[in-house]
Amino acid sequence: MRILQLCNKPPFPPKDGGCIAMNNVTQGLLAAGHEVKLLTAYTHKHDLELHNLSEEYIGSTDIEGVFIDTQINLIDAFSSLITQDSYNVSRFFSPDLDIRLADILKRQNFDVVHLESLFMAPYIGTIRRFSKAKIVLRSHNLEYLIWERIAAGTKNRAKKAYLKYLSKKLKDYELSVINQVDGVASISQQDMEKYQALGCDKPMVNIPFGVSIKNYPVAVYDVPKPTLFHIGAMDWLPNLEGILWFLEDVWPILSKKHQDIELHLAGRGLHEDMLPENQSNVIVHGEVESATEFMSSHSLMIVPLLSAGGIRVKIIEGMAAGKAVVSTAVGAEGIDYTKDQDIVIADTANEMIKELSKLIEQPHLIKAIGEAARIKASSDFDNDNIVSNLVEFYQKLVEVK
């Protein structure tokens, strides 16, 4: 099959969960013998580093990029309140990218145009004008749900009102988009059910984040006390919100109870001055060169998310690496886990303190949960099987005239 993968940021190098998810689809499709053309936006935050790409990658994907300035513009944001536009999405529309997309579609025929995330939906009209390809929305999150949850946890009344407005506009937009595409590939079963509950009657398939288990060697990390760690981009608001909550409500009590444990934090956009002052035994690494090596160096993964949606790529990677993961139920959405067997769930500060203390005091549980997590990742998130299901979904759509 011939597939045009339209991305809101460069899939490679795979710097964050979204990039990793997109890149795994690209690599899986290529490995299965399909033709893939990559057209991507790139931004101040996510640059297209062609010099860091191999000739083989450039040749196999024929990757092209168009720069979009997605930095917040207060005038445009205010205008969106008047025009009823979803500013979060409209920031990703670029006339230059639209023109380049039209040129590609005029010159090449595709069976499927694969939209990576809601942010590529503004280009649906151009795809329809210049191509007969089936359009598949790869939904990474229900975007409105993230902002709805953030609004619910916001105390500032003016900010809460704006976030509620933003979530409503995103919800309206998502509902309109799912009626314009030919199929939806959701990131989790829960997201698929939420789309159906919203009235989506388009063909849908659950295509979760995939891993190649061989890329995640299990490291033996044997120390007197386990080290806690979190890795995630801090320029994504749910990550920052969750870590601040953990540092303010959980860590002071936990670190006082276990005075020799350490918390290691890594991720793009992470700086010490963003965090509460006087945090003992908190080591800030910032953006690390290798997320896999960072995870291998520590033993107990925390994912204290309060307002995310979709599925958390870093949890799947942590499980694949044989890590015991302690997460909120929101953070673990999309994973068909067995509580306390392949993942530990803790939703309140008291629950976090209790569960983490239990693991710190009984390190053999960390090993047992990590082993079960790796088995779970291997069985449920094998990339070859996931891409095979995606291709089968494509084929069914293409057969419909």
- Could you give the domains of the chain? 2-210+382-399 (3.40.50.2000), 214-380 (3.40.50.2000)
Buried b (16+ CB within 10 A) or exposed e, 25-58: bbbbbbeeebbbbbbbbbbeebebeeeebeeebe
- Residue 125 CA from chain centroid, whole number: 26
Tens digit of each residue's pLDDT, the chain (401 residues): 999 999 999 999 887 888 888 999 999 999 999 999 999 999 988 899 898 899 999 999 999 999 998 775 543 444 343 334 444 566 778 999 999 999 999 999 999 999 998 889 899 999 999 999 999 999 876 666 666 777 777 878 877 787 787 777 777 777 777 889 999 999 888 888 888 887 888 999 999 888 888 888 887 655 567 899 999 988 888 899 999 999 999 999 999 999 989 999 999 888 888 888 878 899 999 999 888 899 988 989 999 999 866 678 889 999 999 999 999 999 998 899 999 999 999 999 999 999 999 999 999 999 999 999 999 999 999 999 999 999 999 999 999 87
Total Cβ atoms within 10 A of residue 336:
13
φ, ψ for residue 112, nearest 5 deg? -140, 135
What is the predicted pLDDT for the residue at 75? Answer: 38
Burial of 259 (0-12, 13-18, 19+ CB in 10 A): exposed
Residue 61: phi and psi, rounded to 5, are -105, -15
Cβ proximity of 345 and 332 under 8 Å:
yes
What's the Rg (C-alpha) of the chain? 21
pLDDT at 229: 97
What is the DSSP secondary structure assignment for residue 330, as one 8-state letter?
T
Q: Exposed/middle/buried for 387, CB within 10 Å: 0-12, 13-18, 19+?
A: buried
pLDDT value at position 319?
Answer: 95
Strands 228-231 and 263-266: parallel
CA 135 to chain CA centroid, nearest Å: 21
Q: Any alpha helices (H) in 32-94, and if so which ranges?
A: 55-61, 74-83, 87-90
Entry pTM: 0.79
Residue 180 main-chain phi, psi, to 5 deg? -105, -20
CA distance 160 to 152: 7
Q: List alpha helices for 258-301, DSSP H.
A: 291-296
Q: What is the largest CA-CA distance in the chain?
A: 65
Report the SS3 class of residue 195: helix
In angstroms, the CA 111 to CA 132 distance is 8
Is 254 within 8 Å of 228 (Cβ atoms)?
Answer: no
pLDDT given at position 78: 40
235: number of Cβ within 10 Å: 13
**Structure-token pair, residue 217:** 């060697």
Q: Among the residues of 285-382, which ranges form H helices? A: 291-296, 313-320, 349-361, 363-380
